[in-house]
Amino acid sequence: MVDTISDPSDDALLDVEGLRKYFPIHAGLSRRVVANVRAVEDVSFAIPRGKTLSLVGESGCGKSTTSRAVMRALDVTGGSIRFRRQSGEVVDIAGLSRAQMKPLRSEIQMVFQDPFSSLNPRMTVADIIGEPLLVNGIDKRQDRVDRVAELMRRVGLPAQFMQRFPHAFSGGQRQRIGIARALALNPSLMVLDEPVSALDVSVQAQVLNLLLDLQDELALTYLFVAHDLSVVKHISDQVAVMYLGSIVELADTCALFDRPLHPYTEALLSAVPIPNPRKRSARVLLRGEVGSPIKPPPGCPFHPRCAYAQDRCRTEVPRLERTAEGRQVRCHRAHELDLSGVGSMERPV
């Protein structure tokens, strides 16, 4: 069953529908498949060109697996990933082979979480940023050097540092190198997996600002994966909340933060520490732990932890429903619950 999400006619750059990714568990001598880890179960979303959609959720919710499937760093179990190429052609990359995928790689690029392990310590910055150019046929050294210098300036790094090695740079500067490398081939879609969570607070703000500026200047489309809801609020046009492999709610950023429709979203928002000591509020504390993706709870996967669960939630899997405002929610009681969001508040300083 695929819940329909977006009209095929709209101008989405990326349109994911019914995405599934199972990891088989083998056992015994025959390496028989005894079970599947359902890392991603029926995930659908679309990102318009130039916009940012964030996937949020706790560890193990499938947000990173989803982003890796979109990159085709993983083979998918089911569903479609329609990507609009720069030529205007729309391709379903879920079914492409490695060779067929290759020409698309330059249009979808990734920035990783840890700038300390994602850069080769034995390569100079010029080589790191220039490697995608070399691979894609820019053979003349001077052309590459010029382009690297331009990219470095674009991400706010002094171009004269291009012959240095990554260890000479701070965490924030390394993340800028990673961003410059991703930009080298003029991608239209950037997959950003926790790009600021390893950075210091003051540097985190700089990198977020850089990402916002680059999006403005280059009309980039971001698929942003993060666990920090404050960061997500800042960068996103739309937010999809995931729980145990499924999207439980998807909405415009402000709508989701102000008026969540799913109890899990409410709990997630209420757990965020607010940087205001006069605002130590009562929380919706979640009981227990995330269920197992191998044997998810029957009915709604969130029901064992949900404060609003009823009998129906324990047996019947809720469908993804679309509301009039174009929001999506997967909860039996979404229309009757009145959940609280983060509210409004003035910043203390």
Partner 1 sequence: MVEELTVKHFEITETARGPKQMNGAPVLSVRDLRTHFFQDEGVTKAVDGVSFDVCPGQTVGIVGESGCGKSVTSLSILRIVDPPGRIVSGKILLRREGGGGVTDIAALPANSRALRDIRGGEIGLVFQEPMSSLSPVHTIGSQLMEAIRLHTHLHESAVRERAIDMLRQVGIPQPEQRIDSYAAQLSGGLRQRAMIAIALAGQPRLLIADEPTTALDVTTQAQILELLRSIQEETGMAVALITHDIGVIAEMCDYVIIMYLGRVVEQGPVDQIFFSPKHPYTEALLRSVPNVHSEPKTRLPALAGSVPHPLHRPEGCPFHPRCARFMPGTCERSQPRLTEVGPDQRASCFLYPGADHG
Please report whether residue 86 would count as binding partner 1 according to CB under 8 A.
no
- Position among 1, 29, 99, 201 found at the interface with partner 1 (CB under 8 A): 201
- Give the whole-angstrom CA distance, residue 52 versus residue 222: 5
- Position among 285, 311, 324, 325 found at the interface with partner 1 (CB under 8 A): 285
Please report whether residue 172 would count as binding partner 1 according to CB under 8 A.
yes
Nearest in space to 118 (alpha carbons), one of 232, 194, 190, 56:
194
Q: Which is nearer to partner 1, 121 or 348 (CB)?
A: 348
Q: Which is nearer to partner 1, 28 or 277 (CB)?
A: 277
Please report whether residue 309 would count as binding partner 1 according to CB under 8 A.
no
Q: Which is nearer to partner 1, 83 or 243 (CB)?
A: 243
Q: Which is nearer to partner 1, 134 or 345 (CB)?
A: 345
Residue pair 210/187 in contact by the 8 Å Cβ criterion = no
Bridge partners (DSSP) listed for residue 239: 54, 251
- Give the whole-angstrom CA distance, residue 182 versus residue 129: 8
**What is the per-residue DSSP string for 203-258?**
HHHHHHHHHHHHHHHHT-EEEEEES-HHHHHHH-SEEEEEETTEEEEEEEHHHHHH
Residue pair 25/294 in contact by the 8 Å Cβ criterion = yes
- The Cβ-side half-sphere exposure at 56, using a 13 Å CA radius, reads 28
CB atoms within 10 A of CB 320: 21
Please report whether residue 8 would count as binding partner 1 according to CB under 8 A.
no
Please report whether residue 173 would count as binding partner 1 according to CB under 8 A.
yes
Residue pair 190/14 in contact by the 8 Å Cβ criterion = no
- Give the whole-angstrom CA distance, residue 141 versus residue 303: 59
Please report whether residue 280 would count as binding partner 1 according to CB under 8 A.
yes
- Please give the sequence-ordered ranges of beta strands (E in DSSP) within the chain, or none if there are none: 12-27, 32-48, 52-56, 78-84, 90-92, 108-111, 189-193, 221-226, 238-243, 246-252, 321-322, 328-329
**What's the token pair of residue 219?**
């009309």
Please report whether residue 282 would count as binding partner 1 according to CB under 8 A.
no
Q: Which is nearer to partner 1, 204 or 221 (CB)?
A: 204
Please report whether residue 167 would count as binding partner 1 according to CB under 8 A.
no
Stretch that binds partner 1, among 91-99, 223-231, 296-304, 322-330 (CB under 8 A): 223-231
**What's the token pair of residue 272?**
């965020």
Per-residue binding string, partner 1, 25-54, x by CB under 8 A, is ---------------------------x--
CB atoms within 10 A of CB 41: 23
- Tell me, by CB under 8 A, how many residues bind partner 1: 58
Please report whether residue 217 would count as binding partner 1 according to CB under 8 A.
no
In single-letter form, the type of residue at position 255 comes to A
Stretch that binds partner 1, among 77-85, 127-135, 224-232, 317-325 (CB under 8 A): 224-232
Stretch that binds partner 1, among 142-150, 207-215, 307-315, 327-335 (CB under 8 A): 207-215
Stretch that binds partner 1, among 115-123, 126-134, 146-154, 269-277 (CB under 8 A): 269-277
Please report whether residue 68 would count as binding partner 1 according to CB under 8 A.
no
Please report whether residue 268 would count as binding partner 1 according to CB under 8 A.
yes
Please report whether residue 289 would count as binding partner 1 according to CB under 8 A.
yes
Residues that bind partner 1 (CB under 8 A): 52, 58-59, 170-173, 200-206, 208-209, 212-213, 227-231, 233-237, 253-254, 257, 267-280, 283, 285-286, 288-290, 342-345, 347-349
